[in-house]
Amino acid sequence: MSRSYKIRNQQSLYFVSFATVNWIDVFTRRAYKDIFVDSLKYCIQHKGLEVYAWCLMSNHAHLIIGTTKEKIENILRDLKRHTSKEITKAIEESAKESRRAWMLWMFEREGRRNPNNTKYQFWQQSNHPIELVSNEMIEQRLNYLHQNPVVAGWVDEPEHYLYSSARDYIGLKGLVEVILIE
C-alpha cells in the first residue's frame, strides 16, 4: 500500500477521501449534499467515473472509484472544483444558512493562503488515494466507508443512510449509480 498518495495505475480501483477545509460541517443541509450527488452523477455520465462505493459525511467524502476515460485525478479535480463553486454559491444565496458569514469567512481565509484560488477554498487539497490491490483491501475499505454513518451515530444500519451506497449493496436503489463489488 502506497503512503505517498499518488495515483499510479489508472486501471486500478482507488479509495479516496477528501474533506472540507478545517473540517467544516458543511453537509448538514440537504441542498449541499444534493449538489455533491449531482456532481457525482455528472462525472459518471460524462467523464467516465466508475463509482463502486461512496459515502458523504458532514465534512468529508469517501469513494471507491475507477475510470474508463479521463485520469482519476482530473475527474476528482473537476468534481471538487465544481462542488466548491456550487456549494459556496448556494451558501452565499441562502437566507436560511445561519452559519453563512462564518463559513464564507473561513473559505475565503483559506483561499487567500493558496495562490491557485480566486476567492474561496472549500476542499482540502489532497484526496489521499489508496490503490486497492487485493480483495481484502477492497472489503476493508468498503466496510469502513459504509460504517461511517453508523459510527457517527446517525443511523443504526448503514443502509438507512441516504447519502451512501450501502443501500445498493443490500439490493435497494441508491442515489448514485454504482458498480457493485462482488
Give 136-175 pLDDT, tens digit per residue: 999 999 999 999 999 999 999 999 999 999 999 999 999 9
Q: Please report whether residue 5 resides in a domain.
A: no
Q: Which of 62, 77, 64 is nearest to 13 (CA)?
A: 64
What sections of 65-122 are H helices per DSSP?
Answer: 72-93, 100-112
What is the domain-level CATH number for residue 37?
3.30.70.1290
Q: Please report whether residue 1 resides in a domain.
A: no
Q: Which of 33, 26, 3, 11 is nearest to 106 (CA)?
A: 26
**What is the domain count for the chain?**
1
Q: Please report whether residue 3 resides in a domain.
A: no
pLDDT tens for 95-142 read: 889 999 999 999 999 998 888 777 899 999 888 899 999 999 999 999
Secondary structure tally for the chain: helices H, strands E:
4, 4
- Dump strand ranges (E) for the chain: 14-19, 49-56, 60-67, 130-131
Q: Please report whether residue 121 resides in a domain.
A: yes
pTM for this prediction: 0.93
Q: Please report whether residue 9 resides in a domain.
A: no
**Residue environment code for 88-103, b if the CB has 16+ CB neighbours within 10 A, otherwise e:** bebbeeeeebebeeeb
Distances (CA, A) of 48 to 33, 41, 44, 75, 171: 22, 10, 5, 9, 24
Domain range for 46: 14-170
Q: Please report whether residue 40 resides in a domain.
A: yes
Q: Please report whether residue 22 resides in a domain.
A: yes
